[in-house]
Chain A
């Protein structure tokens, strides 16, 4: 037997499920099965359990992605796996893994992460076109963020409007890395890249390559951004109230077994 990266025991050699490439694990006491090699987030998603994500994104028609993204940058998906806190989007499952997910302790931790993201940037939700469709805002509602516990940083941030089809607003960027990984030219060249380090980290745009992107790619860039950092230029607010992503059900409610414990306004299903 070998010890996996989370300290759990890999029982695949002796587990009768190994022949079908499935593993058994529990999340919040619920026993589930998932394919070997999947992350905890992927396993939870497949079994209808909600684990919040901002940087990670599943491949589906809505996201336009062929492969799941799991950059591990935002840490909102933090869970306890066999007692150790870890990012669920980057941690592969193992046989017998015990995951704690929807607990008061972890949800408070997630609320703290949301608060830190809000005070670190300049998120002026009321005038943001992504308001109502913003994952960060939706998580703030889910975790009932009323007022931040931390001082606002008022970090000076840039707005890059030198692109014909897109506007990048650093005030709202949470450095999730989705755009870096997913938005590329047909030849696979990245249009968005990370620059600098630590609290100087930012996104820079290849202003030469991005000049000729298609309308579809520009729209995908806006859609894939979990906040309002990437916005289509020249139009805005064309989605009326009532038709925005989270107007009728809160984030996570589309996941079958999502807990309603800390969910504002959502129905437990």
Chain B
């Protein structure tokens, strides 16, 4: 008897999504889908607003990575006011924005690894949900939990010092930044916020290395699981610096195929529409981007930490570079297609962000006073950057009265839409094929596959193990055969 399994909502991700898994008469998985069931409409309701509001308005897309949206929009506005396309700002403006962004990357990656992902890794994805949550981590690994809290705090304080607030600040403005970094703030970040040496730049680097070591240790004892779970070949896309270095703030577009061959070769971010197209499917509010030249069937790609490390040539900070070399050696220089290795890549980036924060804090340019430049105004702005979850595209057109007339946003998770669907299917096939009964660990396994991508479906979920979850089995006629609920 054909069946349909529904997991709704998906937990420990940002926002609301649901998964449906269709089984045939023999309990074989025939199709799996990740549905994004929220409609938000930012692209429409920014129209009619003055362009300088955009960096503040669109960051409400997210409560975890608002800085990324803020900066992507600000970069587009830089183009509008004639301040270049990511390389025309004053040194203080460019470096303040970079510091803000590395603070964002750092706190977001830490949040994901410790808060969202670590319960699955520390306790196993089939552990009792009463234990498999962040409270369980706090109770059984208090030192680790404390580190996680302080690391996230450090990133958030960096954001507050550069953007004005920890969430939804206003630091980046068209053509620059509205403040520099005070010497007091700089010294506090270098030596320890409020005199606490645990909140210093060096401690962040040390703890990032420790988190990476923890993951590698886990990998050594769970190699088969981490390498095989939801693994599949794909293209990978990200921005890189023109010399091939990992650059999370600005770069050119590069993509590689499953073998590592370049299929998008260093395209200017302003020409993103020559590279990427989006497909609409009836069952999801999220579009499906693909590389235009390859078409929707062959051109879908992954973004985010795994993709970035597959695309770049090197990482411009020494400790992260050493970790990157180990990461690349594991797949003998070829692209890494193992979804669970997103966690590995994410922690290498966490270490890189920690190193970059220290490097920037030591740069006297941050105390400069030349904050904003403007040039010749134009009617179109495009801003791309690498958000924690992947490449972020912001594109605006503005009329002569300064009001936005068109907005196109391709957010990181949208780029990962097709891969996440494939990851869901891979996990479902592995967990549910031939099974007549749904168990909580089976459901969680599907969610683990999604969580690896750290999707940002919006910003409304929690991780207390009480999120309402309903899984329903339907027969071919639509009748309910079985139903499991938790937290409802």
A interface, CB within 8 angstroms of B? 126-127, 129, 159, 161-162, 167, 231, 233-242
Contact = CB atoms under 8 A, between A and B. Distances in A.
Contacts of B435: none
A240 B402 contact: no
A236 to B, nearest CB: 4
Interface of B: 48-50, 52-53, 55-57, 60, 81, 164-165, 168-171, 173-174, 178-179, 372, 401-403
B56 A234 contact: no
B50 A237 contact: no
B168 A238 contact: no
B168 A236 contact: no
A234 B174 CA distance: 9
Binding site secondary structure of chain B: loop
Contacts of B168: 126
Nearest to B55: A237
B372 A238 contact: yes
A234 B82 CA distance: 12
A126 B55 CA distance: 11
A240 B179 contact: yes
A240 B56 contact: no
Given A126-B56, A127-B49, A167-B50, A237 B401 contact: no
Contacts of B164: 240-242
14 contacts: A126-B57, A127-B53, A127-B56, A129-B52, A129-B53, A231-B50, A233-B402, A238-B173, A238-B178, A240-B164, A240-B170, A240-B171, A240-B179, A241-B164
A129 B57 CA distance: 11
Contacts of B50: 161, 167, 231, 233, 236
A78 B81 CA distance: 46
A237 B402 contact: no
Contacts of A239: 178
B85 to A, nearest CB: 19
A246 B165 CA distance: 15
A237 B178 contact: yes
Contacts of B55: 237
A129 B169 CA distance: 12
Given A238-B372, A240-B170, A241-B170, A159 B179 contact: no
- Across chains A and B, which 4 residue pairs bring their CB atoms closest together, nearest first? A241-B164, A236-B52, A161-B401, A127-B57
A159 B403 contact: yes
B402 A235 contact: no
**Interface of chain A: mostly helix, strand, loop or mixed:** loop
A228 to B, nearest CB: 10
Nearest to B179: A240
A237 B48 contact: no
Given A159-B403, A235-B52, A237-B55, 7 more contacts: A127-B60, A161-B403, A234-B402, A236-B52, A237-B56, A237-B170, A241-B164
A230 to B, nearest CB: 12
A118 B149 CA distance: 37
B222 to A, nearest CB: 43
Contacts of A237: 52, 55-56, 170, 173, 178
A126 B402 CA distance: 20
Contacts of B52: 129, 234-237
Contacts of A234: 52, 81, 402
A50 to B, nearest CB: 28
A240 B178 contact: yes
Interface centre among A234, A236, A242 (most CB of B within 10 A): A236
Contacts of A240: 164, 170-171, 178-179
Contact of A241 (B53, B165, B401): B165
Contacts of A235: 52, 173-174
Contacts of A159: 48-49, 403
Nearest to B50: A167
Contacts of B171: 240
Contacts of B403: 159, 161
A234 B52 CA distance: 7
B117 to A, nearest CB: 30
Contact of B173 (A126, A167, A233, A236): A236
A242 B169 CA distance: 11
Contacts of A162: 401
B119 to A, nearest CB: 32
A235 B175 CA distance: 9
Nearest to B53: A127
A241 B160 CA distance: 9
Residue of A127, A162, A242 with highest tally of chain B CB at under 10 A: A127
A137 B122 CA distance: 46
B106 to A, nearest CB: 21
A205 to B, nearest CB: 13
Nearest to A163: B401
A126 B165 contact: no
A162 B400 CA distance: 9
A242 B162 CA distance: 12
Contacts of B402: 161, 167, 233-234
A190 B170 CA distance: 34
B14 to A, nearest CB: 19
A129 B164 CA distance: 14
